[in-house]
């Protein structure tokens, strides 16, 4: 059995293999949305969303979020693999950080649309805005890496 310790490298390796996440928010009631994401080398998660979406409005009121990422092609009998994370989400406001996050998001998702730009965001041609999730607690369940009972998977506190 592999040592029961989750590392940043294992988390980053998992993140690079997937592109969609579910983000759970809470405002007047709980909500969940599925969005495309990117990430950086310190495990911040970035996504693009319109501030008019319910999950973005929730984040404005309450920055605490949870996310889940899993391979939707997994079968019940397959080795289970997925990631769960709790953290703080915010709409990015600094222009240099927005540009960095947007560039990273487009590169990760292989998007080359020149209309999707910081300049067009500022002109309100593009309604989407960049958001960053700063993780606080990450749980990786990977039955190949960690031979443990369900619920006993290692956790990384950030």
Please report, for the chain, the start and end positions of each structural domain, with discontinuous segments joined by +.
8-157
Is residue 90 within 8 A of residue 131, CB to CB? The reply is yes
0.85 exceeded by the pTM?
yes
Distance CA 73, CA 75 (A): 6
Q: Could you report the per-residue pLDDT of 40-85, keeping only the tens digit for each?
A: 999 999 999 999 999 999 999 999 999 999 987 878 888 889 999 9
Q: Could you report the per-residue pLDDT of 95-145, keeping only the tens digit for each?
A: 999 999 999 999 999 999 999 999 999 999 999 999 999 999 999 988 888
From the candidate CATH numbers 3.10.290.10, 3.40.50.720, 2.30.110.10, 3.40.50.300, the one assigned to the domain spanning 8-157: 2.30.110.10
Q: Could you report the per-residue pLDDT of 2-19, keeping only the tens digit for each?
A: 458 999 999 999 999 999
Measured over the CA atoms of residue 105, residue 12, residue 64 and residue 90, the dihedral's sign is: negative
Assign 107 to helix, strand or coil. Answer: helix
């Amino acid at each position: 059995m592999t040592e029961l310790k989750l590392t940043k490298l294992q988390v980053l390796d998992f993140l690079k293999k997937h592109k969609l996440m579910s983000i759970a928010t809470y405002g007047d009631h709980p909500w969940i949305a599925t969005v495309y994401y990117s990430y950086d080398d310190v495990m911040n998660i970035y996504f693009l969303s319109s501030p008019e979406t319910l999950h973005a409005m929730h984040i404005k009121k309450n920055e605490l979020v949870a996310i889940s990422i899993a391979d939707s092609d997994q079968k019940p009998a397959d080795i289970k693999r997925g990631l769960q994370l709790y953290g703080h989400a915010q709409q990015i406001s600094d222009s240099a950080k927005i540009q960095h996050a947007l560039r990273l998001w487009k590169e990760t998702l292989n998007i080359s649309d020149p209309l999707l730009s910081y300049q067009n965001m500022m002109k309100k041609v593009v309604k989407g805005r960049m958001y960053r999730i700063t993780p606080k607690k990450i749980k990786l369940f990977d039955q190949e890496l960690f031979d443990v009972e369900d619920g006993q998977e290692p956790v990384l506190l950030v």
